Amino acid sequence: MSIAIATEVLMPKLSDSMEEGTILSWLVPPGTEIVAGQDLLEVETDKANMTVAAEGSGALEILIEEGETVAVGIPIARLGSEGASAAAAESPTAAAAAEVPVPIPPSADESPVASSAVSVSGATRRSTPLARRLAEAHGIVIDSIETGSGIGGRVVKADVLIAAGMEPKSAVDTTPAPAPSRASEGTGVGAAATVETAKGGSRTVELSRLQTVIARRMAEAKATVPHFQVETEVRMDAAIDLRTQLKAVPGDDPAPSFNDMIIKAAALALREHPKANGSYVGGAFELHDRVNVGMAVAAEDALVVPTIFDADKKSLGEIGRDSRRLAGRVRAGAVTPPELAGGTFTVSNLGMFGMTAIYPVINPPQAAILGVGKTRSLLGLGADGEIEDVSLMTLTLSCDHRILYGAEAAEFLAAIRDLLESPLRVAL
């Protein structure tokens, strides 16, 4: 056998906070001749699922199997020539890859669903990583599920459990789910055996890697960041009038949303209050040159925060286009690491869900995060002292007390309020 020089493929660092990643799937079988730039594998990170392209060329030798979690910088594959290809062909990985249908041990009742073969790796329907793991555990072929209930028709956990007969098809049916088949025992994936207690039936659902990291980081933030909140009410009548006018302007793009206005107002205020745009790191203040506003987007079973870069320098229309594009990419699972990095401040808006106020948790190492509630109609005093209808929105600023103090936070939040109450300054 000839010996070839191989290039190691390392677990990449796909986000600022990434420490380790989980290999969800190899997109090409071992032994394949790879060219630089070709999509190689899908990795689950602390922020989202990412497709990783090859940086080199050569025959693929897989070192780390799908489902394994490894630290950043650890070799996960090699790209070589004939020697690497031969080694890959003789490896257990190559042998396993040749066996596409993997039989699943039958359940105790020998149900056809539990005993059918799995061909998840060959599935063409979009599905979540947890759904694919559950499908393997219960012998479900992803492509056999007619319609996924996730965003864009993606197959999610609930769809697989319904196909396996383990979850009611409607909220009206409250029959406890049966215990899983032997195929799922010991996998630590999805629903565990139903346990009857005074609380009724209970199921244990494993967190995805993204959910696990979010839970850990939020717990660390609450425990280690001394935080406080300041809150104000914003009269949104002028902003509502401005958006009505913008909607009447001819053009292909939709009018900017109220959230776009809030992002722009926050960006302009950040430019005038640099400590709110900074971080407390290693006993010192880091004041950032760029104003990059993160926008919290509710994705499937997680919260993802893509970044609008240089938001203080962009027009309201540009921010609107950026926010729509990024939200769509998050919900489609297509957001990339650069789109999630570099945020210096975050806006989290739950107003569209009818929440009147939100008290968000700071996203370290950022100095603050802005929570946005719904705009609601109330009775208030007009400029002439008469009672009139007014539209109020609650803004709550959560702050890291190590870098922002009470008066500074109040001045910063007041600046955002003043900009929204005089929205032409935001639109310019």
In a domain, 217, yes or no: no
pLDDT score at 414: 98
Q: Are residues 184 and 71 in the same domain?
A: no
Same-domain check for residues 85 and 122: no
253 and 204 together in one domain: no
pLDDT of residue 135: 81
Q: How many CB atoms lie within 10 A of CB 103?
A: 12
Task: Kindly report the three-state secondary structure assignment for every residue of the chain.
Answer: CCCCCCEEEECCCCCCCCCEEEEEEECCCCCCEECCCCEEEEEECCCCEEEEECCCCEEEEECCCCCCEEECCCEEEEEECHHHHHHHHHCHHHHHHHCCCECCCCCCCCCHHHHCCECHHHCCCCECHHHHHHHHHHCCCHHHCCCCCCHHHCECHHHHHHHCCCCCCCCCCCCCCCCCCHHHCCCCCCCCCCEEECCEEECCCCCCHHHHHHHHHHHHHHHHCCEEEEEEEEECHHHHHHHHHHHCCCCCCCCCCHHHHHHHHHHHHHHHCHHHHEEEECCEEEECCCCCEEECEEECCEEECCEECCCCCCCHHHHHHHHHHHHHHHHCCCCCHHHHCCCCEEEEECHHHCCCCCCCCCCCCECEEEEEEEEEEEEEECCCCCEEEEEEEEEEEEEECCCCCHHHHHHHHHHHHHHHHCCHHHHC
**Phi and psi of 215, rounded to 5°?**
-60, -45
In this prediction, residue 201 carries a pLDDT of 74
Average pLDDT by consecutive 10-residue portion of the chain (428 residues)?
70 79 87 90 78 88 87 89 46 42 38 34 62 78 79 72 65 41 43 60 74 73 85 96 92 91 97 96 92 91 89 96 94 85 94 92 93 91 80 96 95 98 92
CA–CA–CA angle 132, 138, 144 (5° rounding): 65
Question: Can you give the residue range of the structural domain that contains 63?
Answer: 7-98
The Cα 212–Cα 207 span in angstroms is 6
Q: What is the pLDDT of residue 47?
A: 67
Residue 112, judged by CB atoms within 10 A of its CB (0-12, 13-18, 19+), counts as exposed
Q: How far apart are CA 377 and CA 391, in angstroms?
A: 5
- Among residues 209, 243, 271, the one where a domain terminates is 209
**pTM tops 0.85:** no
Number of domains within the chain: 3
85 with 43, same domain: the answer is yes
Q: What is the pLDDT of residue 196?
A: 64
Give phi and psi for 36, each to the nearest 5: -55, 135
Find all residues with CB under 8 Å of 137, minimum gap 6, and list them. 104, 180, 183, 184, 187, 189, 190
Q: Tokens standing for 425?
A: 């300054």
Asked if residue 184 and residue 122 are part of one domain, the reply reads yes
**Separation between Cα atoms, residue 126 and residue 138, nearest integer Å:** 18
Asked whether residue 105 is assigned to any structural domain, the reply reads: no
Q: Cα(343)–Cα(364) distance, rounded to whole angstroms?
A: 10
Structure tokens at 208: 């995805």
Final residue of a domain: which of 152, 184, 209? 209
Residue 37 confidence (pLDDT): 87
Q: With beta carbons less than 8 A apart as the criterion, state whether 131 and 156 touch.
A: yes
Residues annotated as catalytic (active site), given as ranges: 401
| Residue 423 and residue 293 share a domain | yes
Q: Give residue 81's pLDDT.
A: 53
Looking at the structure, do residues 278 and 375 belong to the same domain, yes or no? yes
Same domain for 294 and 372, yes or no, is yes
Are residues 76 and 131 both part of a single domain?
Answer: no
CA angle, residues 155, 156, 157, in degrees to nearest 5 = 135
Any domain includes 413: yes
88 domain residue, yes or no? yes
**Pair 270, 415 in one domain:** yes
Residue 244 sits in the same domain as residue 199: no
Whether residues 76 and 136 fall in one domain:
no
pLDDT at 134: 76
Q: Are 116 and 91 in contact (CB under 8 A)?
A: no
Picking from 179, 209, 239, the residue at the C-terminal end of a domain is 209
d(Cα 349, Cα 371) in Å, to the nearest integer?
6
CATH code, 76: 2.40.50.100
Task: Give me the pLDDT at residue 101, please.
Answer: 39
**138 within domain boundaries:** yes
Q: Is residue 418 part of a domain?
A: yes
Q: In what order do the strands lie in the sheet with 7-10?
A: 7-10, 75-80, 58-62, 33-34
Does a structural domain hold residue 277?
yes
Helices 406-421, 258-272: inter-axial angle, 10-degree rounding: 130
Q: What is the CATH number of the domain that holds 345?
A: 3.30.559.10
